Amino acid sequence: MALERDTERAAQLILQAHHAVALTGAGHSTPSGIPDFRSPGSGLWEKANPMVVASIFAFRLQPQAFYDWIRPLAKLMLEAKPNPAHHALAELEEMGLLQAVITQNIDGLHQAAGSHRVLELHGHMREATCVRCYKVVPAQPLINRFLEDGQMPLCDQCGGVMKPNVILFGEQLPIAVLNEANREAELCDLMLVAGSSLEVSPAANLPFIAYQHGAKLIIVNYQDTYLDAQAAVVIHADVAEVLPCIVEKVKEGVSVNVTVPLPE
């Protein structure tokens, strides 16, 4: 009953919003088979020190260590398909009810599901850049070759190491994307947080910025977040089950064109 009430309330908030945006984290892609970073027992950082394998400082000193670490994860990302949570957000955008998806994920699954306006705070795997001459190339051929032989990809122009265009620890986020995400946080009147523990800044600050500017928050995440007490709706459950339910209730509200009172 509580889940039914909460999904109905979330649907009503979406229907009443004038400018809704979503913020997604690693938990949005775990139903697609991509592990997150901090879940007890399965998080990637339980098995590796991020400053040793996933920082820009470590990459420049020992790039092969980064590639050894990311090899199985890259394979999972290439094989992953969008899950129902990805499709739910794409459907909300298609209905004109979601203005943007701000994501901490680098897997490209939002675009694969059909979302068009995706702000990738932590970069993506579509391109790679040479750390020596800064040549930018499509990453897919490099990744395919790397998955076959395990050797870190080198620049065909200068021989430097190629780095995927993902943001490592110690690197600044892409400023244009971050500025756009901040603008969305200030403009929106509703932010749907899905699959993020809100522990990594500056992404974790965006819902707070939205809340400070008067937006309502919907949080769907297994673990608690620091903003649960401020959110209008909090659902601690699987995003791949909850978001499609919310979208179905949104469709019901659209089909009857009636705004019912929010449940107490």
Concatenated DSSP letters of 134-170: --EEESHHHHHHHHHH-PPPB-TTT-PBEEEEEPPBT
Lowest mean pLDDT across 51-55, 86-90, 249-253: 51-55
Exposure b/e, 219-233, CB count within 10 A at least 16 = b: bbbeeebebeeebbb
Catalytic-residue membership of 122:
yes
- Tell me: the pLDDT tens digits for 38-55? 545 444 544 556 667 789
What does the alpha-carbon distance between residue 166 and residue 161 come to, in Å, rounded to a whole number?
Answer: 14
Phi, psi dihedral angles at 225 (to 5 degrees): -125, 165
> How is residue 97 written in tokens?
């009810």
All CATH 3.30.1600.10 domain ranges of the chain, comma separated, are 35-79+124-166
The residues with which 164 forms a beta bridge, in sequence order, are 128
Q: Which of 28, 87, 110, 122 is catalytic?
A: 122
Please state which of the four CATH numbers 3.30.1600.10, 3.40.50.2300, 3.40.50.2000, 3.40.190.80 is assigned to the domain occupying 35-79+124-166: 3.30.1600.10
pLDDT at 45 (0 to 100)? 45
Q: To the nearest 10°, report the CA torsion of 136, 134, 180, 166.
A: 70
Q: How much is the pTM?
A: 0.91
Structure-token match 């929010």, residue found: 262
258 pLDDT band (50/70/90 cuts)? very low
What does the alpha-carbon distance between residue 194 and residue 23 come to, in Å, rounded to a whole number?
Answer: 6
Strands in 123-130's sheet, in edge-to-edge order, are: 136-138, 123-130, 162-166
> How is residue 87 written in tokens?
């499709």
Nearest by Cα to 198 from 225, 169, 216, 217: 225
Upstream peptide bond of 263 is cis (omega within 30 degrees of 0): no
Structure-token match 């965006």, residue found: 206
> So what CATH class is 1-33+83-122+172-264?
alpha beta
Give 64's contacts (C-beta < 8 A, 6+ positions apart).
Answer: 152
- Tell me: the pLDDT tens digits for 159-175? 999 999 999 989 999 99
Phi, psi dihedral angles at 156 (to 5 degrees): -75, -5
All CATH 3.40.50.1220 domain ranges of the chain, comma separated, are 1-33+83-122+172-264
Work out the burial of residue 136: count CB atoms within 10 Å of its CB; fewer than 13 is exposed, 13-18 middle, 19 or more buried: exposed
Mean pLDDT of 4-23: 97
Residue type, 16: Q
Structure-token match 């995003």, residue found: 239
Mean pLDDT of 202-216: 97
pLDDT at 204 (0 to 100)? 96
Mean pLDDT of 83-98: 98
Phi, psi dihedral angles at 238 (to 5 degrees): -70, 125
